[in-house]
Structure 1
Amino acid sequence: MPFLEVNNLNKYYPITDKDRFHALKDVQLSFDKGELVSIIGESGSGKSTLMNVLGGLDLKFEGEIRVDGENIGHFKEKEMVNFHKEKVGFIFQSFNLVPHLSVLDNVTLAMTLSNVDANTRKERAKEVLEHLGLKDHYKKKPSQLSGGQKQRVAIARALVNDPDIIIADEPTGALDSQTSDQVLDIIEEIAKNGKLVIMVTHSERVASRSTRVVTIDDGKIINDEKRKNIHDHKNTFQIKKRQENKNLGFFAAIRMALLNMKEKLGRNILIALGASIGIMSVILMLALGNGVNDYLTDTMNENVNPMISEARMTEETQEEADEELDTEAPAEQGGGGPGNLAANNPIVQLSKNIAFEESNIAELETIPHVEEIELAYSSFSIGSDTVVYEDESYPFMNFGTISANMTDSNILYGSFPENSEVLITEEMAENVFSTAEDMIGEEVEVKLSVNGSPLTGNYTVSGIYTAGNAIGPASAYDSVFMTMDTFADMNEENGLTVEPNLAYLYADEASKSQMIKDEISDLGYAGSSTDTLAETFTQMLDIFTYILSGVAGISLFVSAIMILTVLYISVVERTQEIGVLKAIGGRNKDIRRIFVSESFLIGLFSGLLGVGIASFISMVGNIAVENLFGTTILHMTPAYALFGILASIVISVVAGVFPANKAARLDPIEALRHD
């Protein structure tokens, strides 16, 4: 049985929807190994079409082509890929060597696509190259070789996988006569080694070296002449140990992508630099937002004990407590007759002083990780509360009892108050004395209105309070503080009873404070004004950060378009290379993987460059800000760096998918014809 058999082969090219051009007409041929066949004919006779069909580059035909008993017309993609890797090798008139690869890499290309290990493919390629007289040219680029040497490299590439069929398209068309004879000697030797060699040529001189000449005209075989026999001898090109064909591996694709990128190094550096600007901008915006947020948090923690969470009653929690007690909320708190005072007093009570019930305290005690609850009182009003010193009245708006929520950093002068002592704010003290420190030890009369009931008492100033950079009423208004025991005595002396409206919940661990605050909110209680304002500022800061990051992210979109455009250009520049890859067994997936690997590497380099630039700017910026303001403002984290790198890779790969798909869909015949 012939090794290659062609039965009733017809090939049509569509012209219009209804008309077709009949390129090959009922071709009947059979070939055996060891034959050196020349297919000759005039231009347009169909010889190149026949070559493409026999080599499996064009599968749109009618009839049968059997190779070693198998009909290649029925091959699926995987089988056709293996056919190109194992059964057929191509030698092209224009050599079709990849210009940026060395001679050795050009020859090993087919084995790289088969995922043969590096040592094996290099050893095999060197063996073939040495046999073809190219031992001293492994590291050279194609541009450093003569025409004859280039064609020898092309022959080595065709032979390296030890195929059964060699198809040569005008193998001497670009060579002078002396070099042509040398190449024909090599091709004749290949046939003598038991391979089927089919040459497409218009040269009678080339045909004269063949054992068989097939003449084609207008798509028909008009002559089939056997001229001489070639005696087989030992196959010096045979692979000693053939490895199982696999597909292009990830690392092999990365290596090929790196070699491709190296060819256009300057352009790729500029692309990576342009893309890194967007990554850098986004990272810096996130770092800025994080830095400002950290600054606010640190400032709050300096002025407020982070172990303590604040809880206040609301109308909702009061109604729930009343329902449990099955009673109405008392209209008057703190003693007889306050209703009339409240109705007739021109006081504006700004804070709703809703007292805690026993059930509320019990409910708060059930919150996990609460170690202790401290009850307190706080009010905020206009026109009711004053401090009298030497017959002069000084109004204040914020009153409260002290707790562990206040820290030593809040004490500007003096100390926290004890029994019969008060703490006043710096601004209030300066209204009395030009120097706030002079108020310490002075006796003042404090007048309060609690739920419409007047309270008075004489107390000694123990210290001067400063809110520092804290957020809350005490930071903006004159305030007076005393201990809860002192406030209870004050109420008792005025015939009233203390009704706490504020609770401080001590956490057993600082890390649990936020969880306690969330639970307080879920139960319907209000938190501290400081937390509320801080949360508002944080939310606003997050919004601004995201907006600025979004604006910076526009540059990422621009860089994605830039990468897409450059890779499209790369596909056009390397169209012929893509055709060669498909001819030697490259799958569509392999072509796609190579181009996606390039976009992956561009994204990786862009991300690393962007993170590096952002880190440098953060370092320099923080040094400058710290020298000016004593703090840092750009807080980069490993998470931001990782996000920047991953975002760069994802954007680049997505941008590279479209050019990669275009490259994978290229027709190998059209790609090989591309100049």
Structure 2
Amino acid sequence: MATLQLKDIHKSYYLGKEEFPVLKGIDLDFNLGEFVSILGESGGGKSTLMNIIGGLDREFQGEVQLKGKPIDHRNEKSLDRFRRETIGYIYQAYNLVNHLTVLDNVLISLDMTTLTKEQRVDRANHLLERVGLAEQAKKYPNQLSGGQKQRVAIARALASDPQIIIADEPTGALDSQNTAEVLDILNDIAKEGRLVITVTHSQAVADAGTRIVQLVDGKIDSDTSIRQPYPVTGDAERLTARKLPARVSYQTAFKHFKFTFGQNFLIMLGTAIGLFAVILFSGLGNGLSGYINEQITNVANPQVVSVSRHTRSTSNANKQQTQAESQRAAMGMGTTTAKPKTFSQTQISQIRQLKHVTKVEKSYSLTDVKIKHGKKSVTTSTASNWTSSATTSSIKVGHKPQAGEIVLDKTAVAKQLNKKDWKSLIGKTVTVSYSTANANNRPTKVTFKAKVAGIAESSTGAMSITAVNTNTLVKALNKANVSTKPAALAVSIDKLGSVNGVVKQINKLKNDGTKLYAATSITSLISTVQTYVHLASSILAAIAAISLIVSALMIIVTMYMSVSARTKEIGILRALGESKADIRRLFISESLIIGVLSAVLATVIALGLGALANTMLSKIASYAFIQITLGNIITTFVIAIVIALIAAYLPARHAASLNPIDALSAD
């Protein structure tokens, strides 16, 4: 039984509806040990026949059998396996992959065998030694002569241990010496028990084999045996083929990436700029949110809710209040502000009994408070009693006020009383006084003495922190016959997560359908501020996204250019047995390499510039305004990978869809 059989092979090309027959009923048998030359003029159908034998051409009529079994040319995966396991190609134009070394060009076929890495390298080096190129293994194809390139192609063809070697004009570009050497190698290959089929228009080349098949005008004109085939001793154990492992595609992609690093670096840099902007703006958003959070929580405890009585303000009410104030001034009684609604003990108890509430404190707000020490005095716009809503972190010197004590604001009070040595006020006694209305709603002055327990400063400097011990203030109010019913309460919550729930509970309390209280928490303020910060960050990120879109387009263009420039390489890889999926993976891998390295570059730039910016901004405030988190970096890598995958999809799909025959004929 013949090793390879061609039965009634017909092949035509079409231009519109016009048919141009190329092969017109070819019947041929081939056996191992033969060196068969298919001889004919250009355009006679030799190359077409070679493509059919090698499993590259699927559009023909007839049947190709291997050891009596038909090869299914309609099944592309079956043809890929046929080329991996059975066929080795040698081309007139060498068809080496330029960005791979001589050794790597040979390893392409060996990567589709079950040999270990060490075995593959050993076999590749052995084959290069056999063709006289052992010392050229690390060179690239463009550093070799034509004869050397053809020997590399022969070594590659033999690498996977195929039974059939197809040589397309193997000596067409060689001088007489290299021609003779290549023909000797092909005879040696046939002696090993392989089938060698060479396509040529040279009679001298054809005479070097064991058999000549003359092809004229798409038909066999003669089939002549010029000497006996080489003896075949039996089925030798051959290498086992396998599908190309994914890691090989990644490695090949990285080798091409390194080979064209200059071009790829520019793409990476453009992509990295967009990714850098995303990281930096995200880090800036984190920093601003954290800074605002810190500043607010330094001033007030986020687990304390401020509660006041609910009031409805109307324009008529405001007019009536203004008229009343005018009448009091005309009568020489002075002006007073309208008394705010206060809390009764029952109402305080009602709030204290709510779930998650741990403590309810009365909160007093004082205005235009005069503080005197020695001969110096200062008037501060606001003061209050010390409650759980205040934070000890605002106290720069001393401690929070105990009975008979007060905390002074550093800028608004302490420095005004003693500019050079304001810390010396700690332990000193000051006189505190302010005007208000007594229980009879008549003007009165509240005056008391207090020892300075501490000096506080707002981290933002935007508000004054002067607070007196609550019991001390209440005693002074009682002495001046001023009501101690509070207009506000400081309600402590057991945990931060319960704050918003308690605020909602308080705001829902009603009496006969009328809302009783208005509760606010610093967490809602923080949430509002963070919403604005996130909005600003999102706008900045959207601007960065434009850069990312441009980067994606750059990668797409680069990949399409790469496909166009590497069309022949695609044909070579397909001829060696790589599948469409392997080709897709190759180009997607290269795009992913660009994407991931762009993200690495962007991260390094962002961390470096972020640290530099924080150093410069530390002169304004000792806070890291740019805080790049691990989540920001992971998000950036995800974005980079998504961009790379999207950018590579169409070019990779186009590369995989190329016809291997057309790809091999590309310049």
Q: Give CA-to-partner distance per residue, 1:619-658, whole Å, 9 cap, x none.
A: 2222222245444322222332333233223322321222
Tell me which moved more, 202-211 or 213-222.
Answer: 213-222
The answer to whether the Cα contact below 8 Å between 1:3 and 1:67 also exists between their aligned partners in 2 is: yes
Which amino acid letter does the alignment assign opposite residue 360 of structure 1? Answer: I
Distance 2:85 2:398 in 1: 93
Aligned to 1:246: 242
> Structure 1 residue 226: deviation in Å?
2.4
Task: Give the Cα–Cα distance (whole angstroms) in 1 for the partners of residues 6 and 416 of structure 2.
Answer: 114
Q: Say whether the 8 Å CA contact 2:336–2:443 is kept in structure 1.
A: no
Instruction: Give 2:391's match in structure 1, choosing from 394, 402, 407.
Output: 407
Q: Which deviates the most, 422-431 or 150-159?
A: 422-431
Pick aligned residue for 2:448 from 453, 459, 478: 459
Q: CA–CA distance in 1 between the matches of 2:379 and 2:342?
A: 20
Whether 2:443 is the aligned partner of 1:447: answer no
Change (3 A) 1:535 1:137: same
| Contact 1:576/1:674, CA 8 A, preserved across alignment | yes
- Any idea what the Cα deviations from partners look like across 1:314-358, whole Å, max 9, x if unmatched? 759x9xxxxxxxxxxxxxxxxxxx9x9999988666977566453
Matches within 5 A, 1:202-351: 202-232=201-231, 242-243=239-240, 245-305=241-301, 308-312=303-307
Moved more, 207-216 or 400-409: 400-409
The residue type paired with residue 572 of structure 1 is: S
Note the alpha carbon deviations across 1:540-561, whole angstroms, 9 max, x for none.
1221122112212322221211
Structure 1 portions without partners, runs of 5+: 319-337
Question: Matched residues in 2 for 1:344 and 1:240: separation?
Answer: 118
Task: Please point out which of 450, 469, 480 is paired with 2:459.
Answer: 469
Match of residue 361 from structure 1: 352
Pairing 1:632–2:616 present: no
Greater alpha carbon shift after TM alignment, 168-177 vs 435-444: 435-444
Check the 8 A contact 1:427/1:478 in 2, yes or no. Answer: no
Contact kept? 2:407, 2:456, Cα under 8 Å: no
Q: Report the 3-state secondary structure (helix = DSSP H, G, I; strand = E; otherwise coil) of the residue aligned with 1:539.
A: helix
Give the AA of the match of 2:161: D
Q: Counterpart of 1:11?
A: 11
Is contact 2:257-2:590 (8 Å) kept? Answer: yes
The aligned amino acid for 1:153 is: V
Paired letter, 1:88: I
Matches within 5 A, 1:346-425: 356=347, 358-363=349-354, 366-367=355-356, 372-378=358-364, 400-408=384-392, 410=394
CA RMSD of aligned residues (A): 3.8
Q: Kindly provide the amino acid, as one letter, of the partner of residue 272 in structure 1.
A: M
Distance verdict in 2 for CA 1:594–1:415, change over 3 Å: closer
Tell me the equivalent position of 2:502: 520
Judged with a 3 Å threshold, the aligned counterparts in structure 2 of structure 1 residues 478 and 156 are, in CA distance, closer, same or farther, namely closer
Does 2:587 align with 1:595?
A: yes
Query: 2: distance between equivalents of 1:47 and 1:311?
Result: 93
Q: Provide the residue aligned with 1:330 in structure 2.
A: none
1:397–1:479 CA contact under 8 A, matched in 2? no
Does structure 2 conserve the Cα–Cα contact (< 8 Å) formed by 1:376 and 1:501? yes
**Partners in 2 of 1:647 and 1:58 — Cα distance?**
41
1:109-148 paired onto structure 2 within 5 Å: 109-114=108-113, 116-148=115-147
Residue number in structure 2 paired with 1:570:
562
Task: Kindly indicate whether the alpha-carbon contact (under 8 Å) linking 1:416 and 1:423 is maintained by their aligned counterparts in 2.
Answer: yes
Alignment match, 2:317: none
Is this contact kept in 2: 1:115–1:247, CA < 8 A? no
2:642 counterpart of 1:650:
yes
Alpha-carbon deviation of 1:180?
Answer: 0.9
For 2:72, what is the secondary structure of its paired residue?
Answer: helix
Give the equivalent residue in structure 2 for 1:327. none
Question: Identity of aligned pairs, percent?
Answer: 34
Question: Contact between 1:162 and 1:239, CA under 8 Å: does it hold in 2?
Answer: no
CA pair 146-440 structure 1, distance change in 2 beyond 3 A? same
Q: Does 1:94 align with 2:93?
A: yes
Counterpart residue number, 1:324: none
Does the C-alpha gap of structure 1 residues 351 and 271 become closer, same or farther in structure 2, counting only changes over 3 Å? farther
Unaligned 5+ segments in structure 2 are 313-320, 329-334, 508-517
Inter-partner Cα distance in structure 1 for 2:339 and 2:12: 92
Asked whether the 8 Å contact 1:353–1:501 carries over to 2, the reply is yes
**Closer, same or farther in 2 for the Cα pair 1:450/1:430, shift >3 Å?**
farther
Secondary structure (helix, strand or coil) at the match of 1:122 reads helix
* In 2, Cα distance between equivalents of 1:352 and 1:197: 106
The amino acid across from 1:458 in the alignment is: T
Q: Distance in 1 between matches of 2:46 and 2:227?
A: 22
TM-score (norm. length: structure 1): 0.82
* CA distance 1:265–1:413, change in 2 (3 Å): closer
Structure 1 residue 176 corresponds to structure 2 residue 175: yes
How many residues align structurally? 630
